[in-house]
Amino acid sequence: MPLIAIIPGDGIGPEVMAQARRVLEYYRSERNFPLDLWDLDLGAERFLRDGTTLPKEVADRIRNEASAVLLGALGDPRVPSNEHARDILFGLRFGFDLYANMRPVKALADRLVPLKNRTAKDVNMMVFRENTEGIYVNVGGQFKKGTPDEIAINEDVNTRKGVERLIRAGFEYAKAHGKKTVHMADKSNAMKHAHELWYRCFFEVAKEYPGIAAKHLYVDALCLFMVQDPTPFEVIVTNNLFGDIVTDLGAALQGGLGMAASANVHYADPKRLAMFEPVHGSAPPLVGKDLANPLASFMTVGMMLAHLGWKEEEARIERICAEAIETGNCTPDVGGTKGTKAVSDWFVDRLKG
């Protein structure tokens, strides 16, 4: 029986994860999916209470027993250092070697697309963000801190293994889903050493996939072209930092962060533990107002169910999310008038129907 570890997180995370959990409860109780739900008390509240971030015994049980982690948003203004968020998020991503962050950028309705003369069918791409290297490994330091001579350094760490396996994941995804192009974004014109590795690996791996066009763009040009015309982009592969930026731009194209789902996977081994998270952030101003958009969390659950073997449910959940947008059964950020719980009530009813 798949064990799913649920970490509600901070801010609107617990509100949204409560609704995502309702969807999982539907599949467990009414569809008889063999799901074991494990609720974890981790996040800012726990950290402020007793200093706990990600205990070793919890990480060990996740590693040895869990099939997936469902993670809410992390980040709380009461913890300005974000120490707990780093330990939990990076502990899971780095600790379990979930090197591929997959973020679908797909608009579900024409009115959600902010671009002039563009429709929903023009926004449909998958971004593969390298998830365990780059600038986020926290290699660096500060010298003479607080003085006029202060020096601050962060190193961008890229390994041949890390770069190649992420690029190969993008091509494998394209091959499996009938995509004709893979774009790679770097800044090799400015970051001569680190990103020359990306450039070289990209075209070397591309030779193994002769039916797929390999196209390179500098990341600034990629952002420009995504806004001008997103239609050429099917699969994008890029590093950790650029992937973080590009996917938020992508979220804007699909209707905002409340519509953005994601998966963190070890792509070469689909049977391994994976982590799934909506990417809306903790959004402190929305806490307790029943305004948080739960649709991204539902689509994230869809990605998780597909990972666990129920692939048809991902498409079903996406169709109902699109229907929610079309009929106005959604939160104000995407043109509706319903609150978080009311959207969830409607969604679960449609699942039952």
pLDDT, position 288: 94
pLDDT, position 299: 98
- Strand-pairing partners, residue 69, are 5, 275
- 167 vs 99, 188, 199, 252, 276, CA distance in Å? 11, 16, 10, 24, 20
pLDDT, position 98: 97
pLDDT, position 353: 83
Q: How confident is the model at residue 342 (pLDDT cuts 50, 70, 90)?
A: very high
Q: Which of 220, 240, 269 is the last residue of a domain?
A: 269
CA 256 to chain centroid = 13
Q: Could you give the CA distance from residue 228 to residue 347 in angstroms, rounded to a whole number?
A: 34
Residue 34 makes CB contacts below 8 A (sequence gap 6+) with 1, 2, 28
**Mean pLDDT across the stretch 100-124?**
97
Q: Residues 195, 187: contact at Cβ < 8 Å?
A: yes
- 273 vs 66, 82, 336, CA distance in Å? 7, 25, 36
Could you tell me if residue 165 is left (phi over 0), alpha (psi between -120 and 50 degrees) or otherwise beta? alpha
Residues 90 and 224 in one domain: no
Residue 43 makes CB contacts below 8 A (sequence gap 6+) with 7, 8, 9, 10, 13, 14, 72, 74, 76, 84, 88
Sign of the torsion formed by the C-alpha atoms of 338, 342, 346 and 351 = positive
* Interval 289-325: pLDDT, tens: 999 999 999 999 999 999 999 999 999 999 999 999 9
Residues 29 and 107 in one domain: no
Q: Could you give the CA distance from residue 204 to residue 105 in angstroms, rounded to a whole number?
A: 27
Q: Which of 242, 269, 296 is the last residue of a domain?
A: 269
Residues 144 and 162 in one domain: yes
* Interval 235-277: pLDDT, tens: 999 999 999 999 999 999 999 999 999 999 999 998 899 999 9
- In which domain, by residue range, is 243 found? 99-269
- 191 vs 13, 70, 146, 225, 350, CA distance in Å? 36, 35, 28, 21, 50
Residues 352 and 309 in one domain: yes
- Tokens 């169709």, located at residue: 319
Residues 244 and 348 in one domain: no
Question: What CATH code is carried by the domain that includes residue 158?
Answer: 3.40.718.10
Question: Average model confidence (pLDDT) for the chain?
Answer: 96
pLDDT, position 334: 97
Residues 176 and 264 in one domain: yes
Return the CA Rg of the chain: 20
Sign of the torsion formed by the C-alpha atoms of 158, 162, 165 and 171 = negative
State the DSSP H helix or E strand holding residue 265, giving kind and residue range, or none if neither. Answer: strand 263-265
Smallest CA-to-CA distance from 277 within 297, 253, 248, 247 is with 297
Q: Which of 247, 269, 291 is the last residue of a domain?
A: 269
CA 331 to chain centroid = 21
Q: At what angle are helices 160-176 and 194-206 packed, to 10 degrees?
A: 40
**Mean pLDDT across the stretch 30-45?**
96
Please state whether beta strands 68-71 and 3-7 pair in parallel, antiparallel, or not at all (unpaired): parallel
Q: Could you give the CA distance from residue 120 to residue 132 in angstroms, rounded to a whole number?
A: 32
Smallest CA-to-CA distance from 257 within 328, 319, 331, 329 is with 331
Residues 129 and 250 in one domain: yes
Residues 124 and 213 in one domain: yes
Q: How many folded domains does the chain comprise?
A: 2
Cα angle vertex 286, ends 283, 291, to 5°? 120
**Mean pLDDT across the stretch 191-208?**
96
Residues 231 and 328 in one domain: no
pLDDT, position 253: 98
pLDDT, position 1: 81
How far apart are the two ends of the chain, measured CA to CA in Å? Answer: 26
**Mean pLDDT across the stretch 39-59?**
95
Residues 144 and 112 in one domain: yes
Residues 105 and 88 in one domain: no
Residues 228 and 217 in one domain: yes
Query: What residue type is assigned to position 45 of the chain?
Result: E
State the DSSP H helix or E strand holding residue 5, giving kind and residue range, or none if neither. Answer: strand 3-7
* Interval 125-161: pLDDT, tens: 999 999 999 999 989 999 999 999 999 999 999 999 9
State the DSSP H helix or E strand holding residue 276, giving kind and residue range, or none if neither. Answer: strand 274-276
Q: Could you give the CA distance from residue 44 to residue 184 in angstroms, rounded to a whole number?
A: 36
